[in-house]
A = this chain, B = another copy of it.
Amino acid sequence: MLNIENSFFLQHWEIVVISVSIVYFILKLRDNQKSSAVETNQQQVNDEETIDNDAKDGEVDTGDDELSPSLEVVNHIPYRGASVVLKGGVDEFYNMVNNRRSIRMISNKPVDIEIVKKCIHAAGTSPSGAHTEPWTFCLIKSADVKKQIREIIEAEEYMNYKQRMSKQWTADLKPLRTNHIKEYLTEAPYLILVFKQAFGFKANGERKTHYYNEISTSIAVGILLSALQSAGLSSLTTTPLNCGPALRSLLNRPQNEKLLVLLPVGYPTDNCEVPDLKRKGLDEIMEIY
Contact = CB atoms under 8 A, between A and B. Distances in A.
Contact of A225 (B115, B177, B223): B223
10 contacts: A8-B18, A12-B12, A65-B275, A81-B272, A82-B228, A84-B96, A84-B229, A93-B231, A97-B227, A135-B285
A45 B56 contact: yes
B279 A125 contact: yes
Given A15-B9, A56-B45, A222-B218, A229 B85 contact: yes
Given A26-B27, A214-B218, 6 more contacts: A19-B22, A71-B176, A77-B274, A85-B232, A129-B239, A215-B261
A39 B57 contact: yes
Nearest to A106: B81
**Chain A interface residue count: which class?**
35 or more
Nearest to A280: B133
A226 B285 CA distance: 18
Give the secondary structure class of A's interface.
mixed
Interface string A132-156: 0101111111100100000000000
Nearest to A237: B127
Nearest to A169: B69
A45 B37 CA distance: 10
Interface in A90-143: 90-104, 115, 117-122, 124-127, 129, 131, 133, 135-142
